[in-house]
Amino acid sequence: MRVGRGPTVRLRRLAAELTRLRRESGRSREEVARRLGVATSTVYRIESGHSRPQGRTMRDLLDLYDIGGSEREALLALARDAGRRGWWHAYGDVLPGPYVGLEAEAASVRNYEPLLVPGLLETEAYARAVVGAALVKDPAEIERRIAARMERQRRLTGPDALELWVVLDEAALRRPVGGPPVMAEQLRRLQEVAVLPNVTVQVLPFDTGAYLGMGNPLAILAFPDPEDSEVVFLENMGGELYLESAEQVHAYVQVFDHLRAAALGPEGSLEKIRSVEKEIAGR
């Protein structure tokens, strides 16, 4: 992105976090500017993502909002990374993870999932089973995680609805997460969402055999401002990887293109989902 043409993805993420912290502190922009000895316009430019706070200003903001420990270190790292192109990090103690914030800002998401239904399409019961399998035992934390997933789904409707293209391995349809009744309900949910004008769902059937990209979930996020580079999101047990270089993004776009070319078309995929749902429901 060229300087002066608007915020990058990381600047928008940092801007959102600093705005949230200010609001939670109960302070106005004018008060923050006065306490830091800067112009109100400076605070506005930071919170709108048009300026990256320099080291001293960033530390002063975190001091003012009383942010310490790992959250402080994560935000300082994010501020440093906002000046660089491409990054590898997971800020799990700032957000549930940076992915949710990126998704909230995206215009479109292309998503491949080999084993599970993606969070944007999960029912509450399915989500509860997935979270429970992650060994989360605190009931309050489970409910917060589920509520966050349900909130994310608001992006699928409305005037600025997210363009979502999902490719699912048939294994994601047949794995009885939560038991047959929960899975049957989830498959009915997929049928409902798949007919939305902004949603495309394709299934890679078992008889496809081996295929390019098999078993490695990925998401490609694109943003409203064409000056903002697309982001590839990869996740494994070791953490989260975010790729932004043109070469890396292009490589994964090609992988996704191969996946959707190998999959059943939208109508055939809908028939496959209906068929599996009938099997699981015993109809």
Torsion, CA 1, CA 252, CA 240, CA 49, rounded to 10? 20
pLDDT at 2 over 50: no
**The architecture CATH gives domain 9-81:** Orthogonal Bundle (1.10)
The pTM for the full model equals 0.70
Gyration radius of the chain's alpha carbons: 21
Q: Strand runs (DSSP E) across the chain, as ranges? A: 108-113, 163-169, 199-204, 218-222, 231-236, 239-243
State the Cα–Cα distance between residues 86 and 177, nearest whole angstrom: 35
pLDDT of residue 45: 84
Residues 238-259: pLDDT tens digits? 677 878 788 999 999 999 999 9
pLDDT of residue 95: 36
Please compute the mean of the pLDDT values over residues 111-139 and round it to a whole number.
90
pLDDT at 50 over 80: no
54 burial level (CB within 10 Å; 0-12, 13-18, 19+):
exposed
pLDDT of residue 15: 83
Give CATH for domain 98-119+156-281.
3.30.870.10
CB contact at 8 A, 215 and 114: yes
pLDDT at 48 over 80: no
Q: How many CB atoms are located within 10 Å of the residue 218 CB? A: 21
Task: Spell out the domain ranges in the chain.
Answer: 9-81, 98-119+156-281
Kindly state the percentage of the chain with pLDDT values over 70: 88
Confidence of residue 131 (pLDDT cuts 50, 70, 90): confident
pLDDT at 209 over 60: yes
Which distant-in-sequence residues (6+ apart) come within 8 Å of 8 by Cβ?
Answer: 1, 49, 82, 228, 229
Residue 262: C-alpha distances to residues 115, 178, 185, 206, 213 (Å): 17, 29, 27, 11, 11
Confidence of residue 84 (pLDDT cuts 50, 70, 90): low
Q: How many CB atoms are located within 10 Å of the residue 122 CB? A: 24
Bridge pairing between strands 239-243 and 108-113? unpaired
Amino acid letter, 123: T
CB contact at 8 A, 218 and 208: no
pLDDT at 222 over 60: yes
CB contact at 8 A, 162 and 107: yes
Kindly report which listed range (72-76, 96-100, 118-122) carries the lowest average pLDDT score. 96-100
